[in-house]
Amino acid sequence: MQKKRVAFVIYSLSSGGAERVISELANSLEKELEVFIITLVKTEPFYPLNKSIKLLYCSENPKTATNPIKSTINGLNRVRTLTKIIKSNKIQLTIGFMTSSNIYAIWASKRCGIPCIISERANHNIDQPPKLLAMVRDYSYKRCNYLVVQTEGNRLFYQKVLDSSKIVVIPNPLADSLASKIKLKQEQRENVILNVGSFKNGKAQDLLIQAFSKLNINNWQLIFVGDGRNRTAFETLAKDLNVWENIQFVGKQKEIHEFYNKATLFVFTSEHEGFPNALLEALSFGIPTISTNCEHGPSDLINHGENGFLIPVGDPQALEEKMAILMSNKELQQKFRDNALSSTKKYQGESIVNLWRNYIFKLV
């Protein structure tokens, strides 16, 4: 029996939460489906993909738009290109990830007469797109078959846009490639406080640097994994606060498990999230964790005082206090560690993939 053909649509396959989830889903589904990944811009995959997965792209280079008219023309051209790719490869279902890719996937699928599932990752209560894009998004999303969101908060947001029967809550899966590399021996942990994420507005790593500078850090190290436009400014902040010698900025890392396995604390300082992949990963490695209680995600993952601490967004004093407690209290570390491990079992890859399977096979 010939496999059904399904295509994921996303801007690129660089490092990132959505890109990681697509890679995990594609690898899990390729035995029963013929899986394609169509990127808007040609990229080398950051995450490992099985050889049977076919990679296609709409253009060699990013589009450069200087005004709304050019942006509209670029968008229409992408829909045309995507339509041609879908038709020529006889795709039977598209699955879009992220707002712009979702819009293109919906309209290309409509032109091809095939169903479309989209996945919205951003928290648009706070991280609001331009008004024109929001209008196009809302008009387009009504025409998808299913909209997958990661949190109850996002489900409530999109109920204002489309029929609630089309909205499905599916959290991100834990990466199977990470789960196999978890080491639970406490003696392998070091005096390391870890933060994983892009250095972009809304991640607020400066809050962590400020709190760290006020603690008795002695032989503790603060490690930042990630890159982005704010990194240079935060490096300067670390020097100005005289903690540069105790902070490492290591950039993007493919072997992220090596950092999770040696960290004693994980600190997450975001002002808003769609769904915090790095926070889920840290908990799955049993790392005692402190997170801002931002919308959305952290409160879905952390039960305050049981498997981690939740603090108000943008509160360096609260962060400093909770860090000081966890750095010195071994018993509390162990309690958070044990509870974190048990609380993340429901996010293991296959159980989440099965939720996706349910909706995919309703349509193909």
pLDDT score recorded for residue 206: 97
Contact 183, 246 (CB under 8 A): no
Interval 279-295: pLDDT, tens = 999 999 999 999 999 98
Taking the C-alpha atoms of residue 360 and residue 94, their distance in angstroms, rounded to an integer, is 10
Kindly state the average pLDDT of the residues 239-245.
96
pLDDT score recorded for residue 130: 85
More confident residue, 171 or 240: 240
Report phi then psi at 89, rounded to 5: -100, 5
CA 28 to mean position of chain CA atoms: 18
Taking the C-alpha atoms of residue 10 and residue 217, their distance in angstroms, rounded to an integer, is 42
Could you tell me which residues come within 8 angstroms of residue 33 by beta carbon, excluding any fewer than 6 positions away?
Answer: 3, 4, 5, 6, 360, 364
Strand-by-strand arrangement of the 309-311 sheet: 247-251, 221-225, 192-196, 265-268, 289-292, 309-311
Instruction: Assign 351 a pLDDT band (cuts: 50, 70, 90).
Output: confident
Q: What's the one-letter identity of residue 294?
A: C
Instruction: Assign 305 a pLDDT band (cuts: 50, 70, 90).
Output: very high
CA angle 98, 144, 174 (to 5 degrees): 45
- Residues of the chain with pLDDT > 90, as a percent, come to 72
Interval 185-237: pLDDT, tens = 666 789 999 999 999 999 999 999 999 999 988 899 999 999 999 999 999 99
DSSP label of 188: G
Flag whether pLDDT at 318 surpasses 90: yes
Could you tell me which residues come within 8 angstroms of residue 362 by beta carbon, excluding any fewer than 6 positions away?
Answer: none
Which sign, positive or negative, has the C-alpha torsion 352, 252, 177, 347? negative
Kindly state the average pLDDT of the residues 85-107.
97
Flag whether pLDDT at 107 surpasses 90: yes
Instruction: Assign 60 a pLDDT band (cuts: 50, 70, 90).
Output: confident
pLDDT score recorded for residue 6: 98
The pair of three-digit structure tokens given for residue 176, joined into one six-digit string: 């199977």
DSSP label of 288: -
Instruction: Assign 121 a pLDDT band (cuts: 50, 70, 90).
Output: confident
Flag whether pLDDT at 101 surpasses 80: yes
Kindly state the average pLDDT of the residues 19-35.
93
The pair of three-digit structure tokens given for residue 6, joined into one six-digit string: 């399904």
* DSSP reduced 3-state for 266: strand
Taking the C-alpha atoms of residue 311 and residue 319, their distance in angstroms, rounded to an integer, is 7
Give the long-range contacts of residues 316-323, CB within 8 A, separation 24 or more.
316/207, 316/210, 316/211, 319/207, 319/208, 319/211, 319/267, 319/269, 319/290, 320/211, 320/214, 320/215, 322/290, 323/193, 323/211, 323/212, 323/215, 323/265, 323/267, 323/290
Report phi then psi at 243, rounded to 5: -120, 15
pLDDT score recorded for residue 165: 94
CA 190 to mean position of chain CA atoms: 26
Domains of the chain: 4-173+348-363 (3.40.50.2000), 177-346 (3.40.50.2000)
Contact 199, 232 (CB under 8 A): no
pLDDT score recorded for residue 186: 66
The pair of three-digit structure tokens given for residue 282, joined into one six-digit string: 């840290």
pLDDT score recorded for residue 185: 66
Q: What is the pLDDT of the chain when averaged over all its residues?
A: 92
Strand-by-strand arrangement of the 33-41 sheet: 54-59, 33-41, 4-10, 93-97, 116-119, 146-149, 167-169
pLDDT score recorded for residue 320: 97
